[in-house]
């Protein structure tokens, strides 16, 4: 009877672990931090210029003043307002060079694009 209160705490810890565990299930979890709107409004900064093939998680944050998105390998984030972020998971099955762009009108043409090497 007195143990009832003690059970509640471990249960909440178990829930927290369950959320964390699926990510570690992947053999190699590659994370690339993508900053949009920095160092200038129509630029991206990626934390890695090349990644190993497989599942890559892009953590995209808009640090600019206007809306941006991030598109690579046929997948794209929603339009992110200033300060917003979104995680995008993309599976690269083959090595190669994968261009990324911001799809908002004029942004890629203005320099908001680049190439990620997959090895």
Binding site for Cu ion (CB under 5 A): 68, 102, 104, 107, 112
How far apart, in whole angstroms, are the C-alpha atoms of residue 70 and residue 78? 8
The smaller minimum CB distance to Cu ion, of residues 55 and 66, is found at 66
Q: What is the phi/psi pair of residue 13, to 5°?
A: -70, -40
Hey, what are 98's tokens?
């994968």
Smallest distance, Å, CB 6 to Cu ion?
52
Q: Which is nearer to Cu ion, 55 or 104 (CB)?
A: 104
DSSP-assigned letter for residue 68: B
Q: What is the smallest separation between the CB atom of 55 and Cu ion, expressed in angstroms?
A: 25
Q: How many other CB atoms sit within 10 Å of the CB of residue 52?
A: 13
Q: Give, rounded to a whole angstrom, the gap between the first and last alpha carbons of the chain.
A: 58
CB of 87 to Cu ion, least distance (A): 18
Residue nearest to Cu ion (CB): 102
Please, which residue, 23 or 65, has the CB nearer to Cu ion? 65
């Amino acid at each position: 009877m007195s143990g009832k209160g003690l059970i509640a705490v471990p249960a909440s810890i178990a829930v927290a672990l369950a959320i964390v565990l699926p990510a570690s299930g992947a053999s190699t979890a590659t994370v690339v931090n993508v900053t949009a709107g920095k160092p200038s409004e129509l630029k991206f900064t990626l934390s890695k210029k090349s990644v190993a093939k497989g599942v890559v998680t892009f953590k995209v944050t808009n640090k600019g003043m206007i809306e941006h998105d991030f598109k690579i390998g046929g997948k794209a984030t929603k339009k992110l307002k200033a300060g917003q972020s979104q995680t995008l998971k993309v599976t690269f099955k083959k090595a190669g060079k994968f261009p990324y762009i911001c799809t908002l009108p004029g942004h890629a043409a203005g320099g908001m694009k680049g190439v990620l090497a997959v090895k």
